[in-house]
Amino acid sequence: MDVDYAEPPPSCVVYTPAPLARALVDALQPSPEQEWLEPCVGAGVFLSALSECGIDRSRITGVDLAVKPEAADRLARVRRGVDFLSWATTASRRFDCVVANPPYVALSSLPRSARRVATGVAVPEGLSVPGGSNLWYAFLCACLRLLKDGGRLGFVLPSALDYADYAARLREQLPRLFSRVDVLRCERPLFPTVLEGSVVLLASGFRRGPGVVRRRTFATLETLCDALRRLPAKVQRSLPKAPGRWFGPEQEIPAATSVQLRDVMQLRIGAVTGDAEFFLLTDDQRRALGLPAASCRPVLSRAQHLVGPRVDRAVWSRLRDSGERVWLFRPTSAVVRAQSAVRRYLRSGKCRKDRVKIRGRDVWYLTDLPVKPDAFLSGLSALGPWLCFSHMSSLSATNTLYTVRFVDRSMSDDLRAGWACALLTRLVRRQVDRRVRRYADGLRKLEPSDIMGLQLPTPSESIEWQPIYDDAVQALLDSGAEGAADTVDAYF
């Protein structure tokens, strides 16, 4: 099947550093009799690495959508101007090794014919290519179809391999398909244009699983490459009775004593202003502009504003007095009519009203607010998700935070604190470690869907939870997640 584009989208072209390419080829243990596949040749860095290892060009098949030839093409049998996914559906040849840095681009951004080809990839063991996934995922699945029994593959992939919902089935199946799976991550970005970070996937012994999974993180590209070269030379022979888990062993929560967080709490992103510089103000800025307090709403706008188990007016006032941006400019019609300083600020031209979020409002300066929150939570906190309860009726939050409302509106404050304690248990923290999206610069982020799917142990209604939660949050802020877990685990 042909696709209606002749070159790969520029945004998905990411070039592999030569040292990484050579280390990955070395880790696949090249030998002269092997048949190799490179499904996205690009400039040919993997072809050069294979040639340096003594692999004859007749043993290497390369495919690339780009028509323009590259100097390294002479090192393999390269098919240019060919869509790999279309080619893979009819290819009868099978390969001992596949090595690749596939394109990173959402299927939803591709032309319709290309999406149809990608989602039509036939893959083993019940895997499929979801329409909401990424081109790298389709490439990897197609390569599994072309791999010989006992074969090996080495891929450079985005860190979405670890957390994307569409890759969950792949994470489950790889340890079942291979006798050994290694996942290597670098703390520093491998590619400046891949903001979410990258991982190296090395899998050996195709269809000889179930196998083990080993995960390691390295400080630099150099140490990662060195580790690739030192991987064991032989595929594991003593097979485990059950496949290794992608994130290692963990204690399961009995279904009868746990519920999903979404059944207890509703999460919503905080208010999206569209132009934070215009709408978010410190108290000094508000006063300098002559804006009355009645023209603004008190808000929390940073993870650092979550400073304890609860926030009341006294806590918020300390943030205000310390120069934090805790005012959201949001005047009512009555205030606009009554206050010339408000009208002057609205006419100042300082707001970028051409932005989508602002243009879409009925009244451009009235930022949509979440329903009155019961608590606030950050998806960016290095401490993981925890609740800061709202004890200030007018308080809201902007979109750097999530707002929380309990589903059962009649639930007591004490039981709400019990559910907040459940969120700090080790049982939940292990789930968080599996779901968190780790970026190359060290940033850890949880999206609402990541949090709402967490399984929480059920708190007993016979325990007085509020003082326990106060102690747990203090331990969290003083000594991190382990300290908080030490405080709450005994109660579950």
Parent domain of 140? 10-229
Same domain for 213 and 307, yes or no, is no
225 and 85 assigned to the same domain: yes
Whether residues 46 and 193 share a domain: the answer is yes
- Domain contains 274: yes
pTM: 0.61
Residue with tokens 């991550």: 185
Is residue 279 included in any domain, yes or no? yes
Q: Please enumerate, as own/partner, the contacts of 290-295 that have beta carbons within 8 Å and a separation of 24 or more.
A: 290/341, 290/344, 291/329, 291/339, 291/341, 291/342, 291/345, 292/335, 292/339, 292/341, 292/342, 293/327, 294/331, 294/332, 294/335, 294/339, 295/329, 295/330, 295/331, 295/335, 295/339, 295/342
Nearest to 198 by CA among 434, 383, 16, 11: 16
Q: What residue ranges of the chain have pLDDT lower than 70?
A: 1-14, 124-126, 192-196, 232-241, 248-257, 438-443
Q: What is the pLDDT of residue 158?
A: 87
Task: Confirm whether 243 is domain-assigned.
Answer: no
Q: Are both 186 and 107 inside the same structural domain?
A: yes
The pLDDT of residue 13: 58
Q: What is the pLDDT of residues 396-419, one digit of tens each?
A: 999 999 999 999 999 999 999 999
The pLDDT value recorded for residue 235 is: 44
Note whether 82 and 172 are same-domain residues: yes
Q: What distance in Å separates the CA atoms of residue 96 and residue 76, rounded to the nearest whole number?
A: 15
Residue 305 lies in a domain: yes
Choose one of 229, 252, 277: the last residue of a domain.
Answer: 229
Residue 248 inside a domain? The answer is no
253 belongs to a structural domain: no
Residue 70 is assigned to a structural domain of this protein: yes
393 and 278 within one domain: yes
Confidence at residue 7, expressed as pLDDT on a 0 to 100 scale = 53
- Model pLDDT, residue 198: 83
With respect to residue 333, please indicate whether it lies within any of the assigned structural domains: yes
Total of domains in the chain: 2
Both 278 and 395 in a single domain?
Answer: yes
Amino acid (1-letter code) at residue 249:
P
pLDDT of residue 230: 84
At 445-471, the pLDDT tens digits run: 888 888 999 999 999 999 999 999 999
274 and 201 share one domain: no
Write the CATH number for 139: 3.40.50.150
Whether 406 and 276 share a structural domain: yes
Together in a domain, 337 and 215:
no
Are residue 269 and residue 155 in the same domain, yes or no?
Answer: no
pLDDT at 10: 52
DSSP state of 271: B
| Same domain, yes or no: 310 and 446 | yes
Final residue in a domain of this structure, among 186, 205, 229: 229
| Residue 424 backbone dihedrals phi, psi, to 5 degrees | -95, 0
